[in-house]
Amino acid sequence: MKAFNKIFAAVIAMIILIFAVFNLLFASSDNTDSGRPYRVEINRLVFEIEQSGFDSVDMSGCEYVTHIEKYSDKFYDSDSDYTIREINGVLYRFDYTTYMESDKSSVMLMVNIILGILSAMIIGVLIFIRIKILLPFENLTNVPYELSKGNLTCPIKENKSRFFGRFIWGVDLLRENMEQQKQRELDLQRDKKMLLLSLSHDIKTPLSAIKLYSKALSKGLYDGREKQIEIAESINTKADEIESYVLQIITASREDFLSLEVEMGEFYLSELISKIKLYYTEKLRLIRTDFFVGSYMDRLLKGDLDRSVEVLQNVMENAIKYGDGKSIDIQISEEDGCLLITVRNSGCTISENELPHIFESFWRGENAENEKGSGLGLYICRQLMHKMNGEIFAEIKDGFISVSMVFSKA
């Protein structure tokens, strides 16, 4: 904004300079002979009088000289501007008008008015740019910086600008999502800690009993066979109890720790495919991978468009990461009232035995040893597809691996 203020001040100064220079040049042009055209006519008439005499002068073609008076008693009586010349020893008065000078002033005034209007338009455009374009960005200056530090920020005021209204709304939505994600992470950490504290406390009781029973047995406090069997059964019961707590911990670790949210609605297949083609056509061209999208008829699907794009992007990224880089294609088909979108890539690098596990959380195959990742991409895809009442599955055939997403038609 400071830079714009400097530019604005420079434009104002330039406009003032243009006005000053123009008026100065226009005014100075009056002092030259070219600015007094009546002198040209007077010089011509003087020449005619010198050559042919006063009686032969023809004034029909004169625009500025209105009358010629030969010297007499009322020689100096004239209501208009005049100049006196001596021709062949006789004085002559040449009356003339300067109506063209007034026209020149009118032209000067008109040009100044036009320049003023243009200047006002330029200033208006600059003010419009400042209010409608720069100020919305000024309001966003500190938002990304504060979010990057993890600080909470004030909501961004709604802006109905046709230029950046959607952009500002998107930034505010991003701010809200980041704050919600931060809160969910804090809640998750709290719940995880409370779960561990609770389970560790519950495990202590049966564990202490097992330790007491085992110590008693080791010291031979129970001589009878029946009593020893009873103690062994008690130890087994407490061990089962501990095992159930361990299963709770394992189950909790496998549940929806990502808090994936889906807004069910309807969207067109063409919207989904166009978003994928827009991004991956150029990306795959740069890495020299053939990319092909099969023909399809547009259909209205059930689900969340944004989440569907996320699923398809995750599958595409896996195809790029674990394929051989030769080709990736998307095929679309219809079966039993559902629509299948299949991403197929050449260069299958996983075995048939590993295929059933690729949608599990934190699972990574042998082909992922040298690749970055967390093993959550396809797990997230399956969770999202289930939330949208769909399905996802994979198969290997003829050296190609295909991942198919099943969507319900609206």
pLDDT tens for 126-137 read: 888 777 777 777
| Averaged pLDDT for residues 375-391 | 88
d(CA 119, CA 14): 10
Name beta bridge partners: 401.
345, 396
Q: Are 364 and 375 within 8 A, CB to CB?
A: yes
- Pull the structure tokens for residue 407: 């969507």
d(CA 107, CA 104): 5
pLDDT computed for residue 38 by the predictor: 78
d(CA 39, CA 83): 9
Q: How many CA atoms lie within 13 A of 396 on its CB side?
A: 13
Neighbours of 367 (CB within 10 A): 15
**Which letter, b or e, does each residue of 50-61 get, where b requires 16 or more Cβ atoms within 10 Å of its Cβ?**
eeeeeeebeeee
d(CA 265, CA 301): 8
H-assigned helices in 262-349: 269-286, 305-322
Q: Which residue has the higher pLDDT, 81 or 171?
A: 81
Q: Which conformational region is residue 150 in: left (phi greater than 0), alpha (psi within -120 to 50 degrees), or beta?
A: left
In the sheet that holds 90-96, the strands lie side by side as 65-70, 90-96, 81-87
Q: Which conformational region is residue 216 in: left (phi greater than 0), alpha (psi within -120 to 50 degrees), or beta?
A: alpha
Which range among 25-34, 121-130, 185-194, 321-330 shows the weakest confidence by mean pLDDT?
25-34
Percent of the chain with pLDDT over 70: 81
Strand ranges (E), 144-194: none
Closest to 172 (Cα-Cα) out of 150, 139, 148, 149: 139
pLDDT computed for residue 151 by the predictor: 59
pLDDT band at 2 (very low <50, low <70, confident <90, very high): low
| pLDDT single digits (tens) 100-140 | 555 566 777 787 788 888 888 888 888 887 777 777 777 66
H-assigned helices in 53-91: none
Q: If you compute the radius of gyration of the chain from its CA atoms, what whole number of angstroms results?
A: 47
Eight-class DSSP state of 157: P
Q: Are 348 and 339 within 8 A, CB to CB?
A: no
- Does pTM surpass 0.95? no
Closest to 364 (Cα-Cα) out of 352, 381, 385, 350: 350
- Report strand pairing: 81-87 vs 265-268: unpaired
The answer on pLDDT for 31 being more than 50 is no
Q: Which residue has the higher pLDDT, 208 or 253?
A: 208
